[in-house]
Every structure is written in structure tokens, then in C-alpha cells.
Structure 1
């Protein structure tokens, strides 16, 4: 059985110890260090092993229990009841189909719809004049009461005139745009990691500073005009990004590219 080293837990501001311990134990369960029906170490053992308090251990185990990975049996200990899925479905659908699936499989809460000046970076990517107004929609998507992702979308005013809170409760944003005659073409995506700020932490029900995936997607129409800028935040514990790259696109940007944002010293 693997024995983690206490040094695996970082003791720095913004790195919650109970979330780190949760992830270590979850990964051990996934690797088979603790099989289904087996005991995980007792509170005292985990406290000593990771040099943390009982409260930290209890919060970590509670998170495992919330995911259905372990169960507490009074007087006996905490047992593994399930293993995180090892086999995951392969991507077999296109963007529009995946957007439709996402809309069907989640419930939407419309948090904001407004017409406002687009932020400078958004305006630039949508090819709008500085200070130009656009339609702004913020939504929360949940599955069975569990928040899955927060979407923050901007649409040029001329194509977003029918984007209202009422309409967004009935259908997805891409469906409203398609009803306006938009035919989607090129898509540019950027995936980064960020720490949850107070607003996102509250909406997604994660700890302040918890790691989140941020996906920024710029959609164009068939005439190569940008028609939607959307930023999506979600936790990697509940959602993931699937990609399928055909052989003919392996040596193109379609395969994705890692870009390092480091300022190099002058030569």
C-alpha cells in the first residue's frame, strides 16, 4: 500500500489542506491503494501521516463521502464503497451536438442579461469598437441540483437582439443565435486554470481559492465574423474537456497548442 509523504500537502496561503488531503485520498482510491470494502486509515493515523488536525481530516473524508466514494460505519471506521470511474466515454460528437446535450442534461439559472459596454479584451476579439455595447448573459448550469459551470457570454448587439432572460430560460444561447440565421463556423478555444474568487466559489459551491478550469471560446459564423465570446468556469472534479483530433489535423492548430505566457528577458 502506498504511503504518501506529508510534504505532498502544501502549507501556503490559498491551498486548503482538507482539499489537498481529499485529492490525495481520492487518487489513492482510484489507483486501488484502498479497494472497495476496505478501510481507509483512521482519523488518528491520517492526522499523524499528514500532520494535520482532526477537523482537516473530517472535512476531507466528508467530501469523499459526498461523492459516494466512502461510507462511515459507526464503531467500525470508514470504508471504500466505490472507485472513481476509470473508463470514460470517448468524444463522438461535434460542437453543436455537444452544446445541445449540455442544454438537455443540465438546468439553467439565468443570473444576468444586460446590454453593456463590452470589456476591452472581449470587444477586441468580437471586432467591436472600443466602448461598443453588446449583449451580456451570465448563467449557472446545474445537474440534479449540483452546480456544474458558470457561463459568461457576450454577443454583438446586432445578432443578440432576441437574447433575453425569458428566452434563455427556454433554450440555449446557441439555439437563439441559430434561430437568427447564424451558421457557426470557426471556433477558437483557450483552456487555463484559475483560483475561485468569492462569486465563483459561491455559485459553484467550492472553497474560496479552489482550482477551477476556465475555458474561453470564440465562435465565428460561416462568414468568419465573431458572433459569440463565452467564458466558462467549472471544477475539474465534476466536469472535463473532451477533444478528438483527426489524423489530418494533427499538425495544425486544431490539435491544440500549449502557449507559455512568460516575459523573456531582452536579448
Structure 2
């Protein structure tokens, strides 16, 4: 499909903020996802993109390189740049429970343990874990990757009484939930919150994104069957590589299990 003359997002923002090549990358990425350019289609050549978006060749080349790095397009010498097959994955049927999905995640990613320590839990974390102010907890930070591509950074806090075996060596062999289950924890209620944040210098470096790039932040509090909070974890990932999939059963449609949007306004 030739989308050269479409009006979709043909103007990029010129004020300080997101770089022009990132804006162009996001426009083209979204058009590919929406099927404006189908699998096997040739995307517009550099000259056409320069004219359409009023940008330089360098800007266009950087945007297309970002698309190529994600596997969305491929350059064919002397022929142009084409949308790759398999760039729009089908939506799988969500058949996993939380523990099954955590197990699947652990099996399909490589883990790099960045930090394991026992330290006073930050006030917000202590409150969620029902700990007294200043109480120490086990803190573990990990990076999960797929074939060398960073996918997510996880920052977890666990009460000391259930986190005695949470060590760097153990986390290199087993997922955190498996270690806790080995300590006799039986998981029950889970509360999670999804928001958007900008990548700080540490997250930008670990996830290989631009400083200030948009990230998804998922905060999850896991409880045991006795309703005690046993894990507080913050997960950061880029929406360019990952997504959140939910399957809400019919009986949960009219409950908060279906999720809700909360507006933080005074």
C-alpha cells in the first residue's frame, strides 16, 4: 500500500522534546503495526520521507535504522526497504496464570543479576510490605534479555523472613518466585499498577534506549494465602519490545480484577 500521500502524522514537532528521528521512527512503526504498510511492502524511499516530513536524510536514515534494529524492516540493496514478514505478531490466547507466566518468562529470557542486598526498605515500599519504617528487606535488581537484547529491568523487595535464600547465586539459577515458593510461600492476592515513565540514565543504559524515552512501569505487590505481602516488584520495559496481556474472565468483569483507570488529581 502506498501511504506516501496520507495525512497521518505528516508533521513532526519542532519544539524541544523528542528528537525528530525518534518521532519519525514512531510514526513509521505505528503505520506498520496498523497495516498501512503490509508485510512485504516497500516503505517510501528516503527522498519521499524527507519531503513528506520536512527532515534531513540523516534523520530518515536514523529512523529507518531503528526500525531495522527491531526487525520491523529489511534493506535490500538496490531495491529499497521492505516490511519484514512476521512483524505484527498475532495476539496469543492468554492461557497462563501468573505463576505460569512468570515461569515462562524465566525460561524464555536470560537473567543478569545486577544487585542483591539487605537494606532499609524505602518508605513507599515498607508501607506496601507492611513493614515498620526503617526495617531492612532483601533487595534484588535484575535485567532480563532475549538473545542479548534487553527486555526488562526488575527491582524487587522481599521481607527478610521469606527472603533468606534470595542470593545472587540463587537468582542466577532460579526465578525469585521459585525461591520464595521453596521457602514455603503460597501466593494469593496480587495487586498491580501500570503507568508510563521516562527513562532515567540508569534505565536508559540498561534497556538501551534514549534518555527520557517512554517506558512502561509495572508495579506488582504479591501476597501469600494468609494475605501477607511477600514481594514488592517494579518492572520497567519499553513498549517497542514488550506489551502487557490480560485475560479477564466473565465473572471478574464487574470487579477491579478487570482493571481501572485512576486519575491522580487533587
- The equivalent of 1:261 in structure 2 is 264
2:71 is the alignment partner of 1:68: yes
Q: Give the drift of 1:76.
A: 3.2
Q: Deviations over 1:94-138 (max 9, x none)?
A: 001111111111110000000111111000110111111110000
1:220 and 2:223 correspond: yes
What is the CA–CA distance in structure 2 between the aligned matches of 1:32 and 1:247, rounded to whole Å?
31
Mapping of residues 229-240 of structure 1, within 5 Å: 229-240=232-243
* Counterparts of 1:107 and 1:80, CA distance in 2: 28
The answer to whether residue 23 in structure 2 is matched with residue 20 in structure 1 is yes
Determine the C-alpha separation between the residues in 2 that align with 1:37 and 1:169: 41
* Kept after mapping to 2: 8 A contact 1:133/1:157: yes
Residue equivalent to 1:151: 154
Q: Deviations over 1:13-46 (max 9, x none)?
A: 3312212211211222233333344322121221
Range with greater deviation from structure 2 (17-26 or 161-170):
17-26
TM-superposed deviation, 1:245: 1.0
Higher deviation after alignment, 204-213 or 17-26: 17-26
Q: Secondary structure at the match of 2:60?
A: helix
Greater CA deviation, 228-237 or 53-62? 53-62
User: Relative to structure 1, is the Cα distance of residues 253 and 159 closer, same or farther in structure 2, using a 3 angstrom cutoff?
Assistant: same
CA RMSD of aligned residues (A): 1.6
* TM-score normalised by the chain length of structure 1: 0.93
The TM-score normalised by the length of structure 2 is 0.94
User: What is residue 45 of structure 1 aligned with on the other side?
Assistant: 48
Q: Which moved more, 1:15-24 or 1:192-201?
A: 15-24
Residue in 2 aligned with 1:135? 138
> Is the contact between residue 91 and residue 242 of structure 1 (CA under 8 Å) also seen in structure 2?
yes
Match of 2:97 in 1: 94
Name structure 1 gaps, 5 residues minimum: none
Q: Within the alignment, does 1:104 sit opposite 2:114 as a pair?
A: no
Which aligned segments of 4 or more residues in structure 1 are displaced greater than 4 angstroms?
5-8
Shift of 1:240: 0.9
Q: Secondary structure at the match of 1:96?
A: helix
Asked if 1:177 is matched to 2:180, the reply is yes
Aligned residue pairs, count = 263
Question: Could you say which residue in structure 1 is the equivalent of 2:195?
Answer: 192
